[in-house]
């Protein structure tokens, strides 16, 4: 079973705001980028009759994953997001190469290579009773809304926007120690406030 814990700040996310400003003002995505959101995502994978219940109880008991004062958090079945597909760096588009079009919504998972947190997994697993924890990942989930003429262009634009290649190309993912997976790409409306 794969169980996801999505964690968002209750206040303004300064990391997201800085990334948005850099993408629009420095890297040329102004007019193409329609929205940007960042969440922490904890992925628990394991087995046991009461796996979900045990994980929820451990998350509530410890402050490692969620600080109730500053975070909103919710659990969801990991199948809702899935595992996604790796980004294709060869097809990346720069903002100037992108035609106009409707807004697309992409969910991009960015993690250190593998995203696995073995020390934390061992600590949490000891407190889950009979449930077995096979994997615990801590990653960042970016929701990117951008204008593109079609799904293929949107997919390639997400790669161009995210994958850092130089000071002028990409921002959200450093390929020297991180990896990215596109979890979802779908047509979307304008950015929600």
- pLDDT tens for each residue of 130-177: 889 999 999 999 999 999 999 999 999 999 999 998 888 999 999 999
Give residue 192's pLDDT: 46
**Burial of 23 by CB count in 10 Å (0-12 exposed, 13-18 middle, 19+ buried)?**
buried
Give residue 190's pLDDT: 54
> pLDDT by residue (tens digit) across 98-133?
889 999 999 999 999 888 999 999 999 999 988 899
**Is 131 strand, coil or helix?**
coil
CA distance 193 to 190: 9
Residue 6 pLDDT level (bands cut at 50, 70, 90): very high
Judge if pTM exceeds 0.75.
yes
CA distance 18 to 9: 15
Query: Which value, in Å, is the radius of gyration of the alpha carbons in the chain?
Result: 18
């Amino acid at each position: 079973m794969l169980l996801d814990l999505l964690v968002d700040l209750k206040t303004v996310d300064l990391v997201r705001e800085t990334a948005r400003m850099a993408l629009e003002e420095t890297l040329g995505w102004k007019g193409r980028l329609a929205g940007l959101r960042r969440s922490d995502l904890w992925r628990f994978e394991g087995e046991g009759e009461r796996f979900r219940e045990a994980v929820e109880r451990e998350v509530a008991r410890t402050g490692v994953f969620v600080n109730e004062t500053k975070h909103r958090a919710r659990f969801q079945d990991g199948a809702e997001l899935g595992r996604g597909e790796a980004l294709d760096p060869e097809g990346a588009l720069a903002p100037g190469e992108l035609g106009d079009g409707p807004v697309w919504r992409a969910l991009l998972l960015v993690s250190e290579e593998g995203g696995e947190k073995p020390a934390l997994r061992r600590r949490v697993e000891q407190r889950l009773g009979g449930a077995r924890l096979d994997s615990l990942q801590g990653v960042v989930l970016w929701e990117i809304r951008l204008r593109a003429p079609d799904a293929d262009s949107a997919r390639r634009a997400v790669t161009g926007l995210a994958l850092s290649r130089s000071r002028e190309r990409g921002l959200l993912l450093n390929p020297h120690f991180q990896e990215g997976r596109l979890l979802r790409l779908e047509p979307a409306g304008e950015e929600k406030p």
